[in-house]
Amino acid sequence: MRHLSKLVLACAVGAGCATTVPQAKIDSTQKAIGAASDAVGSQSGVAAERLADAKKEFDAAQQLTQSGKTDEAIRTLAKSDADAKLAQALGVEGKARADLASVLDQIKALKAQLGK
């Protein structure tokens, strides 16, 4: 009997039978979405699309949690978090590219003024 209870416990732990979505995961995903929103700003394109996906996935995860589908909610939160972090990175890259283009235009203008 003792071995059977250990087996049941091991199966439950191994299967990842979560009863609630960890609040820390919800909070970190919300924070990642906020950081991505700041980085993306008014940019369009892939960064904005990933941010929109992250927000949709977060909303879906909340609905899954309310429906009692905890494991699926946790997986959806993980996808939302990953998309938010990707959106943030793409947003930072987009801003860096825009800044670089601006500097290159300034250099071009200065060269024109100097006659080079």
List the domain range (segments joined by +) for residue 11: 2-114
Res 48: pLDDT: 95
Q: What's the CA gap between 5 and 77, in Å, rounded?
A: 32
What is the CATH number for 29? 1.20.1270
Residue 115's pLDDT is 85
Q: Which of 83, 65, 78, 66 is nearest to 21 (CA)?
A: 65
**pTM of the complete model:** 0.75
Per-residue pLDDT of 63-74, as tens digits, reads 999 999 999 999
Cα(83)–Cα(48) distance, integer angstroms: 10
Say how many domains are in the chain.
1
> What's the pLDDT at 61?
97
Q: What is the DSSP string of 67-114?
A: TT-HHHHHHHHHHHHHHHHHHHHHHHHHHHHHHHHHHHHHHHHHHHHH
Per-residue pLDDT of the chain (116 residues; tens, 9 = 90+): 455 444 443 444 444 555 799 999 999 999 999 999 999 999 989 999 999 999 999 999 999 999 999 999 999 999 999 999 999 999 999 999 999 999 999 999 999 999 87
